[in-house]
Amino acid sequence: MATTLRRRKHGDETPSESSPVPTPRKTSPSRSHEKIKIVHHRPKKTKRSYVGVLILGTLIGLVAAGFFAKNDFKIDFDFPELGDLSMESLLEVIPAGFMKDIREMVAGERDHLESYDAFTVGDKASAEGLTAHHPMVIVPGVISTGLESWGTNNASRPYYRKRLWGSWTMMRALVMDKENWKRHIMLDKKTGLDPPGIRLQAAQGFDATDFFITGYWIWNKVVENLGPIGYDTRSAYTAAYDWRLAYPNLEKRDQYFTRLRAHIETAVEISKEKVVLTSHSMGSQVVFYFMHWVASPLGGNRGDDWVEKHIASWINVSGCMLGAAKDVAAILSGEMRDTAQLNAFAVYGLEKFLSKEERAEMFRRMPGISSMLPMGGNAIWGDLNGAPDDLPGQELSFGSFINFRSGQNWTIPEKNFTMDDAMTYLWNTTEEWYQEQVKKSYSQGIAHTTKEVNENEKDPRKWINPLETRLPLAPSLKIYCFYGVGKPTERAYYYRRPLMGPLSSLNLTIDTGLIQGEVDRGVILGEGDGTVNLMSTGYMCNKGWKMKRYNPAGVKITVVEMPHEPERFNPRGGPNTADHVDILGRQNLNEYILRIAAGKGDDIQDNIISNIKEYAEKAKVYEEGGGI
């Protein structure tokens, strides 16, 4: 059956008379006259903060301070950004319901962890006779890996070997030592590496990715379930990396790809079995890049048969293979749905601690995040005449990616932006150092011929992009695409000029005052897993890699879509969640991973429940000689 997503309907929210109906400046002439109102049902909020690209909500000092204060953690300091506002007075002005939600969130997560049978899936697999067969290598996603300080200068010594990303140390540093924290977490504008005197590196081992902060698991469920079938540190390995770095700098600074290649070669030599690579989110892009790097004379120089000899399967979990729409908003204005839909009090607190300007600068000074800028342009994401993933009767096409209200006293662009327009605007308005870091590392285009694809193997900028390069020449390689569907995901936006005008370093900001029809605080929702759009997770797996030029060796692709069916009172969604991060704790995903690791992955069959194949056929990327 097809996945049906509904838009939120604001029955009780009446738009202001000064807010005209937000129609795009150019609409499709081919739209049907039959209007079917499509409403997105937004699931009831759980008692936890959802994770954005940088889980900005979690970084709000208000939440951190409130948590500590209610758990007998003694703090005696003032917030310099808020003048003389002390901890006691801060807790007085925070709404009681907000603090109650925070306490219930923490208590609910703790109760859930205590009641959770950690080895259920692994024990079941073991009882069925599954055992460790292939060496396992885990490649985590963006923000999953903790970053720890190894610097010894005066600014760094208080944090020596402590995590400034992925721990409560990070939270305290942000509240109490924000400017120093920012100096550590942001990379140098010119080099894209650590600033002088700063040494921040990815933590290593399973501890690097098990939990983001205490109690908030990432890969912990997967690792726990691998244990009962025989995996340990001799047969499983976490290839953690500094996700802030542009991919070429992962090798330049940390020799990341060399170390990954050496580990895989050693594992194969010892076990006499090929490796299973399991990646999540941005980690899937890292794996795709690595498979080009390891073969190329410009990289590992191991030849085109290296993957065939060393990799049995690639498990691609929630891979943002064609980027994410929210990455544009994050880099353009330091925003995303997570921040746009905060209430007024939370917005005030967030802006005081990390303003939009600061957040935009942070995103830009982490060039690794820009690897997730959308790829394929209008051919994948649509134009002002429509988008492949538009739904019947939809009032606002997703192809109009950034929209502007007319009839306002704002100086705004003359037309709405398609994805191509938005990327052009991004390059025209961001700093030269940012453009240089990104353009020398990545590419977002399309190769329409086999000749182009083959030429692109010689250009490292293209290695991240599956629309410009091919899968490895490994006919026995098996790729498993597992991703969530059915959770509303930001797909387009309304923007406006910043209220501060010339006092702001930003040119545009999300029009959060617009709540009307399909637009919720300036954000328009589409299909996906809550973070990555369906066109990104699903296009290559269902269509792109079926094309000869992108898959010349005929690598087998298996696709399993997982519907988002969260338990109402479970803080992480339970065994049937398909949320972008929480899917790593999903029961059947863990079952599939264990089967593949045990050499039984051939039993897994395609299960496609969304309309991705229909959307993919509408994308303007064709077989060679077929057009465009």
Amino acid at 310: H
For residues 559-574, one letter each, b for 16 or more C-beta atoms within 10 angstroms of the residue's C-beta and e for the rest, the string is bbbbbbebeeebbbbb
- Count the Cβ atoms, other than its own, within 10 Å of residue 196: 8
DSSP state of 243: T
How far does CA 322 lie from the centroid of its chain? 11
Q: Nearest Cα to 108, choosing from 39, 189, 58, 45?
A: 45
**Look-up: residue for tokens 């299909």?**
527
Amino acid at 587: Q
- Count the Cβ atoms, other than its own, within 10 Å of residue 284: 27
How far does CA 237 lie from the centroid of its chain? 22
Amino acid at 321: M
Annotate 338-352 with three-state secondary structure: HHHCCCHHHHHHHHH
Q: How many Å apart are CA 556 and CA 560, to the nearest integer?
A: 13
CB 603 within 8 A of CB 358: no
Q: How many Å apart are CA 350 and CA 343, to the nearest integer?
A: 10
CB 444 within 8 A of CB 423: yes
CB 604 within 8 A of CB 558: yes
Altogether, the residues listed in the chain come to a count of 628
Amino acid at 205: G
Q: Which residues contact 287 (CB under 8 A, 6 or more apart)?
A: 139, 277, 279, 314, 316
- Count the Cβ atoms, other than its own, within 10 Å of residue 74: 7
Retrieve residue 626's tokens: 């077929």
How open is the CA angle 622-484-333, to the nearest 5 degrees?
80
How open is the CA angle 147-287-542, to the nearest 5 degrees?
130
Annotate 31-96 with three-state secondary structure: CCCCCCCCCCCCCCCCCCCCCCCCCHHHHCHHHHHHHHHCCCCCCCCECHHHCCCEHHHHHHHCCH
Q: How many Å apart are CA 557 and CA 541, to the nearest integer?
A: 7
How open is the CA angle 7-10-11, to the nearest 5 degrees?
125
Q: How many Å apart are CA 545 and CA 553, to the nearest integer?
A: 10
Q: Nearest Cα to 394, choosing from 492, 530, 535?
A: 492
DSSP character string of 468-492: TS---S-TT-EEEEEEEESB-EEEE
Active-site positions read 281, 529, 580
Q: Nearest Cα to 440, choosing from 131, 155, 192?
A: 192
φ, ψ at 445 (rounded to 5°): -90, -160
DSSP character string of 146-176: -EEE---STTTGGGBT-EEESSHHHHHHHHH
Parallel, antiparallel, or unpaired: how do β-strands 163-165 and 147-149 relate?
Answer: antiparallel
